[in-house]
Amino acid sequence: MKNQIYLIPGLFGFTELGAFNYFHQVAEILRKQLYEQGVDAEIIEVETIPTGSVKRRAERLIGAVCEHGGLDADNLHFIGHSTGGLDIRLMLTSGVRLMADNAETEIASRTRTAISLATPHYGTNLANVFTSLNGRNLLLLLSLMATSWPGRYSVYTIAKLLRHYSQLDHLLGQKDNILDSLGNNLFDQIRIEEGDAIWQYLRQISRDQGALIQLTPEGMDLFNAAVTDRPTVDYVSFITASPPPSTKLLLPQLGNLYQPFTHLIYKLCYQLAQKEHPHYPYPRAVADMLTAVADTVELPIDANSNDGIVPTLSQVWGKVGGVYQADHMDVVGHFQHVNDGRSYHTWMMSGSGFNGDRFATIWRDISEVVVRNQAGGLQGR
Euclidean distance between CA atoms 28 and 160, whole angstroms: 32
Q: Count of CB atoms within 10 A of residue 13's CB?
A: 26
**Domain regions of the chain by residue span:** 3-126+214-244+278-337+351-380
What letter does residue 152 receive in the DSSP assignment?
Answer: H
Q: How confident is the model at residue 380 (pLDDT cuts 50, 70, 90)?
A: very low
Which has the higher per-residue pLDDT, 241 or 376? 241
**Residue 144 pLDDT exceeds 80:** no
Q: How confident is the model at residue 32 (pLDDT cuts 50, 70, 90)?
A: very high
Q: Count of CB atoms within 10 A of residue 288's CB?
A: 10
Nearest in space to 49 (alpha carbons), one of 191, 206, 186: 206
**Which residues on adjacent β-strands are paired with residue 113?**
77, 234
Which has the higher per-residue pLDDT, 169 or 94? 94
Instruction: Give the mean pLDDT of the chain.
Output: 83
What is residue 127's three-state secondary structure? helix
Euclidean distance between CA atoms 22 and 19, whole angstroms: 10
CATH fold label, 3-126+214-244+278-337+351-380: Rossmann fold (3.40.50)
Task: Tell me the DSSP string of 165-200.
Answer: HHHHGGGGT--SSHHHHHHHHTGGG--SSTTSHHHH
Question: Is the torsion defined by CA of 362, 364, 370, 373 positive or negative?
Answer: negative
Euclidean distance between CA atoms 306 and 51, whole angstroms: 21
Euclidean distance between CA atoms 98 and 43, whole angstroms: 24
**Could you tell me what percent of the chain has a pLDDT over 90?**
48
Euclidean distance between CA atoms 147 and 301, whole angstroms: 44
**Residue 74 pLDDT exceeds 80:** yes
- pLDDT per position as a tens digit, 48-60: 988 889 999 999 9
Calculate the CA dihedral of residues 15, 16, 21, 26 and round it to 10 degrees: 30
- pLDDT per position as a tens digit, 227-282: 999 999 999 999 999 999 988 888 766 556 667 788 898 999 999 999 888 899 88
